[in-house]
């Protein structure tokens, strides 16, 4: 049963990871184009507005989709109530975003934020009408359909953003494209699923009780994810925040997004195992090893190729982002592991209050550390402080997970040491090769990327072999590979 559960989680997570990486490939391409059409100041201005709106969103996010997936039984009234609650939630977010535009502009010391926030408030209002039927893709483990739906939304946003940037050429492109993309996303949701919701509040009380537990967790997650960007926005000008925010978004899409994306496949499977603690612990631990293997390789590889990546993909106006990229890649790795160990599994088991407490712990440590870093070293100290805060949060998060579930810390450490050792080997060996002698940034980037992949994969395979070939991603991939040399030999005559 644990092996079957792990394969189900792996299949669901694989679909969502492939979908997310396809979306992120589109996002990286979009970023590369936009970085050359727009300036860091344009990105910084819109980032200021989105930071304030995202805080309101987390205060008002009621977790309707999570409860709909977790419910053992379900009727039409329950789904209709979830849709109605989402509309009310969108209205509330839009009104609050419009109302706090002036205070946000005062905090960031940038008057243009007022008009930007007032326009972007329409995004929340429009998104509230998204078809609730698409949540059933996750509930029914229809990950291929879920992936197609999300990828369609991303493609629409990509095309609209590029069109707006080409026509307008400044920060207004990001604002109007966001509004247009919200409308496109709602339309796509009704094309993707045949369910047609109706207004209903029949189950409003159940959603109200659930939201009392989910909202503190969402707010804590926002602080844990965004406090460093908020401090950076106060310390620096729009140009500085644009550099920092873009570096944060790119490093997050390569590490934390692996974990967040896998949650769409992980969470419904964890819900199905919540009454089987041992099976849940085994399957979850295996998934931790799988996702850690991806996160360590991507994050530490990004540290090694950061300079060439910025030069090739973003251009000379973004060179100040190189050291920020490197620190945020390490921060993103640790933050991704913290999120994995403190979020999906606890919510699936009904421990939302503990998940919220751990989020607040992460956010509190992050606020103290990045504030101290900014005070000591200005903008350069913010990513260093964020990395220190994430490292300090990891031990208590692991301890809380082990106390609240059947997961054990030796089992977690047992699946983390292999990618950690492989990542260290990559950090030590790739610089030793001296690939910078190739000259131009593009050949260096390609050579470094190939060297990182080869060294990391070889180190992972060796560590797995020395560990006794335990179950996990390595064995799953080995068993999936065609091995024609292992053909069954015919038995000798007279021998059974």
Please report the DSSP string for 385-444 in residue order.
HHHHHHHHHHHHHHHHHHHHSS--HHHHHHHHHHHHHHHHHHHHHHHHT-GGGG-SHHHH
CA atoms within 13 A of residue 424's CA, in its CB half-sphere: 6
Q: Alpha-carbon distance 139 to 136, whole Å?
A: 5
**Nearest partner of 340 among 261, 247, 418, 226, judged by Cα:** 261
- List Cα–Cα distances, 319 to 254, 302, 324, 347, in angstroms: 19, 15, 10, 41
Provide the pLDDT for residue 67.
73
For residue 408 the two structure tokens come to 């054990």
Sorted by where each begins, the domain ranges of the chain are 38-202, 213-475
- Tokens coding 451: 């060297």
Neighbours of 128 (CB within 10 A): 21
219 neighbors 352 (Cβ within 8 angstroms): no
Q: Residue 347 phi/psi, 5° resolution?
A: -65, -40
Residue 260 and residue 23 in contact, taking contact as beta carbons nearer than 8 Å: no
Please give the pLDDT value at position 224.
79
In the Cβ-directed half-sphere of 482, how many Cα atoms lie within 13 Å?
1
For Cα atoms 189, 217, 386, give the angle at the middle one, nearest 5 degrees.
105
Inter-residue contact 418 to 424 (CB < 8 Å)? no
Q: What's the CA angle centered on 51, arms 230 and 296, to 5 degrees?
A: 70
Tokens of 224: 């844990």
Q: Could you read off the pLDDT tens digit of each residue along the chain, which spans 496 residues? A: 455 544 555 555 555 556 656 666 666 677 777 777 788 888 889 989 988 898 888 777 776 777 777 665 667 888 888 889 889 989 999 999 999 999 999 998 889 999 999 999 999 999 999 998 888 777 776 767 777 888 888 888 888 988 988 888 888 999 999 999 999 999 999 998 888 988 988 877 877 777 776 777 777 778 777 888 888 888 877 878 888 887 887 777 666 667 766 665 666 677 777 778 888 888 888 888 888 888 899 999 999 999 998 888 777 777 878 898 899 999 989 988 998 888 778 877 878 788 888 888 988 999 999 999 999 988 889 999 999 999 999 999 999 989 988 889 999 998 899 999 999 999 999 999 989 888 889 999 999 999 999 999 999 999 888 888 887 667 766 766 665 544 444 443 443 3
């Amino acid at each position: 049963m644990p092996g079957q559960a792990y394969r189900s989680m792996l299949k669901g997570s694989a679909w969502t990871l492939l979908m997310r990486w396809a979306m992120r490939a589109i996002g990286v391409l979009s970023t590369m184009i936009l970085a050359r059409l727009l300036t860091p100041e344009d990105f910084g201005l819109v980032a200021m507005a989105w930071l304030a709106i995202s805080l309101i969103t987390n205060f008002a996010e009621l977790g309707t989709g999570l409860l709909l997936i977790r419910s053992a039984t379900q009727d039409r009234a329950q789904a209709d109530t979830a849709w109605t609650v989402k509309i009310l939630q969108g209205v509330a977010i839009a009104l609050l975003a419009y109302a706090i535009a002036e205070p946000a502009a005062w905090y960031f010391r940038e008057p243009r934020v007022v008009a930007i926030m007032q326009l972007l408030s329409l995004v929340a209002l429009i998104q509230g009408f998204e078809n609730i039927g698409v949540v059933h893709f996750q509930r029914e483990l229809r990950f291929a359909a879920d992936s197609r739906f999300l990828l369609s939304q991303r493609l629409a946003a990509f095309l609209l953003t590029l069109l707006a940037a080409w026509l307008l050429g400044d920060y207004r492109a990001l604002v109007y494209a966001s509004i247009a993309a919200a409308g496109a996303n709602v339309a796509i949701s009704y094309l993707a699923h045949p369910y047609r919701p109706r207004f209903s509040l029949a189950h409003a009380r159940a959603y109200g009780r659930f939201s009392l537990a989910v909202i503190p967790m969402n707010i804590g997650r926002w602080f844990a994810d965004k406090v460093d960007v908020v401090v950076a926005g106060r310390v620096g000008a729009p140009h500085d925040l644009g550099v920092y925010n873009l570096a944060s978004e790119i490093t997050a899409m390569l590490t934390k997004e692996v974990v967040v994306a896998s949650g769409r496949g992980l969470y419904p499977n964890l819900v199905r195992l919540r009454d089987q603690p041992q099976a849940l612990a085994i399957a979850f631990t295996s998934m931790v090893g799988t996702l850690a293997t991806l996160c360590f390789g991507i994050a530490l590889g990004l540290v090694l190729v950061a300079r060439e990546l910025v030069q090739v993909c973003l251009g000379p106006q973004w060179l100040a982002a190189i050291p920020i990229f490197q620190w945020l890649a390490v921060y993103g790795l640790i933050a991704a592991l913290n999120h994995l160990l403190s979020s999906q599994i606890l919510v699936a088991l009904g421990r939302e209050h503990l998940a919220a407490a751990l989020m607040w712990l992460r956010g509190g440590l992050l606020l103290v550390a990045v504030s101290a870093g900014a005070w000591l070293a200005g903008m350069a100290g913010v990513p260093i402080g964020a990395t220190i805060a994430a490292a300090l949060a990891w031990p208590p998060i692991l301890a809380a997970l082990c106390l609240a579930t059947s997961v054990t810390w030796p089992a977690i450490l047992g699946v983390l040491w292999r990618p950690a050792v492989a990542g260290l080997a990559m950090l030590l060996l790739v610089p030793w090769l001296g690939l910078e002698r190739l000259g131009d940034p593009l050949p260096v980037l390609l050579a470094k990327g190939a060297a990182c992949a080869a060294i990391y994969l070889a180190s992972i395979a060796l560590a797995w072999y020395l560990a006794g070939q335990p179950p996990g991603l390595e064995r799953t991939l080995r068993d999936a590979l065609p091995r024609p040399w292992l053909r069954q030999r015919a038995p000798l005559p007279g021998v059974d």
